Structure 1
């Protein structure tokens, strides 16, 4: 049995390494050396992303932030264009990052580093006020370079049609498959930085703050929410909106302990799972052959803590490891947008969930062309959706 598990780990790591390719620092260049001309009709949209990071600066031209850990949080603002040829769920990334071609690929054409967090807060405050008081904080997962985090959040914000102020919290991932332990430790060191960022967004005047975290970023998010609960502020002074944990790379027992400390959520906590997530299969084997939350079979076991589990096992995704389905399946990312765009309600939490599940079912049925099944397990009921 042990040799079988070891063989599976080796095979899956080889697959992950192959899929990651032999990336170099230059391939993670964010700001190109030259930018090809593009007309207004070539550009679908421009998105300004606010950035808070625990990464250190890179010495390489255009890379901006590296995988090293910094002693202090730094803040930035990045402007990214999305090409008119963009397809939902895709990140059209330039094969040569030295030359940007906005008509064909995502292109970050400017970045500003804020001298101090007070400057960041003032600029963000103006954006939040202009965008209806809403903010979205996204935390990426394992094996993610700075440029990849920027483009993933841009894609999610664009495809979800999010109208609030987008904020990327990016921690010091080494962006290498073999550095799982380093990344896990980097996420651990970033807990206080994320808490600092969440409080800054509150101070900037956000009336509703939605949180989306992926993979190992979900562990970082849950640890930070646990810290807030211990400090007596689990809802960010009542500003916390939805919490979405996509493919959470968290030990199931750890998650249960986090939720026990946090308490029953006042607003929706969504956990997206898939039994076909091969990246989490590797993680689970590394962790003593223990399941991760993102591929856990017993949804009711999680729902008892007040979270809603959305099983997307039968929904196709763009990556071969089935680990980024939440962002790469066009229907799911649009449905994510439906949730984030909804008006905050003062009604009964259970009624609100029921209404959103109904919307989810009709929305998926309209946007997925093939038959698929999503199983939604709430703290109140289990709902099976056959999608045609």
Structure 2
């Protein structure tokens, strides 16, 4: 246990972007691609130039926007951090613009304006909720990386809660998540009022606890109404007590649409979290995949993914590169067709073999579908 903690501490060492990390760089760079992100946060505003938000808790919800550029030689799954701000757009992630948004109504107006740039029926919001030990700019750049690598035609919305970005701040972050529940609920209601045709949600690590607790506190009728707008829910490396997870799903009920749980068997951070929690398994490292399937989950194992960065806990970021093929494979195989629900099914083959066996699709991905809450479309149980 002590060796594992030391390893995690060492992996977290080095220069991390703190104050002034969002210094603006407008220098042209051929091949660099800009991404506009809307931001909702329970973080406190920071008066330090080019910082915007810190890790302290705000008494009110704050709104902002930023444009982040991804360099032309970007490696999928990675964030090319500048050695010094404002960075070089030819080689680094850089901020092109950033600013506060006055209130929720102005935020909603801007959201609808961005949605209107897509054809009707294809107006999708992508909400990202980051995990523990995450600085503001880290959450912003991670979302940008994911949207860029996934080539997703969406309007990105980052919900960033008050993490101090400190490895030793686990309890502070956990309490910040609890404080953020009402704000995330207000955000979900705001997104539901928008002109979005679909809302997809990706939560990582402790951000899953925030999402689960927020959904749990919604009145049943509001949950049903919001679920009709939701296109996909992905729980990446969920840092949630498995008993709490099962208890919450018993209250919420089996979802009409299956959600996706992304697991990695070599996730050292979740092993530490389990030890801190008295040995209770975390959802993101739970050993009974069949039980997760029975609760309504498609379980995807990304252990074999080679992360562009050092942490096994962050392998979901590398998944973005494969998301177009993964989505195509799930659609082609019938895994997203809940009309075919007939119990859980374990799938031992890698996704490429699995899809090839069912639809002859030429897809080869380093991902395994471990379990699903229904049998294959057109196949036996």
TM-score (norm 1): 0.85
* Partner residue of 2:9 out of 3, 13, 17: 17
d(CA) in 2 for partners of 1:128 and 1:226?
A: 28
* Partner residue of 1:77 out of 65, 69, 74: 65
Q: CA deviation at 1:373?
A: 6.0
* Partner residue of 2:128 out of 127, 135, 138: 138
Is 1:180 equivalent to 2:170 in the alignment? yes
Residue deviations 1:120-174 (CA, integer Å, cap 9, x gap):
0111111122233211100000000010001000000011011111100000001
Aligned to 1:265: 255
d(CA) in 2 for partners of 1:106 and 1:46?
A: 10
SS of the counterpart of 1:308?
strand
SS of the counterpart of 2:99?
strand
Is 1:110 equivalent to 2:97 in the alignment? yes
Residue deviations 1:342-365 (CA, integer Å, cap 9, x gap):
9xx9965437x99xx789846997
The 3 A distance-change label for structure 1 pair 272 and 105 is: same
User: Contact conserved, 2:20 with 2:51, CA < 8 A, in 1?
Assistant: yes
Residue deviations 1:278-304 (CA, integer Å, cap 9, x gap):
010000000001110001111011111
Paired residues for 1:56-95 under 5 Å? 56-95=44-83
SS of the counterpart of 2:162?
coil
SS of the counterpart of 2:250?
helix
Is 1:212 equivalent to 2:202 in the alignment? yes
d(CA) in 2 for partners of 1:364 and 1:19?
A: 39
d(CA) in 2 for partners of 1:360 and 1:136?
A: 28
Q: CA deviation at 1:27?
A: 3.9
Say how many residue pairs are matched.
363
Aligned to 1:29: 20
Q: CA deviation at 1:339?
A: 8.3
d(CA) in 1 for partners of 2:337 and 2:373?
A: 17
Q: CA deviation at 1:53?
A: 0.3
d(CA) in 2 for partners of 1:317 and 1:382?
A: 30
* Partner residue of 1:122 out of 109, 112, 118: 109
User: Contact conserved, 2:330 with 2:336, CA < 8 A, in 1?
Assistant: no
Paired residues for 1:190-339 under 5 Å? 190-230=180-220, 232-236=222-226, 238-329=228-319, 331-335=321-325
Residue deviations 1:163-217 (CA, integer Å, cap 9, x gap):
1111000000010000001001101111111111111111122121011000000
d(CA) in 2 for partners of 1:364 and 1:321?
A: 32
User: Contact conserved, 1:163 with 1:341, CA < 8 A, in 2?
Assistant: no
> Where do 5+ consecutive residues of structure 2 fail to align?
346-350
TM-score (norm 2): 0.86
Question: RMSD over aligned Cα, in angstroms?
Answer: 3.0
The 3 A distance-change label for structure 1 pair 216 and 18 is: same
Q: CA deviation at 1:99?
A: 2.5
User: Contact conserved, 2:273 with 2:282, CA < 8 A, in 1?
Assistant: yes
d(CA) in 2 for partners of 1:315 and 1:99?
A: 31
d(CA) in 2 for partners of 1:308 and 1:294?
A: 12
d(CA) in 1 for partners of 2:148 and 2:354?
A: 19
Q: CA deviation at 1:14?
A: 1.7
The 3 A distance-change label for structure 1 pair 331 and 116 is: closer
> Where do 5+ consecutive residues of structure 1 fail to align?
1-7, 384-388
Q: CA deviation at 1:57?
A: 1.0
d(CA) in 2 for partners of 1:360 and 1:55?
A: 43
d(CA) in 1 for partners of 2:113 and 2:139?
A: 24
Q: CA deviation at 1:95?
A: 1.3
Aligned to 2:348: none
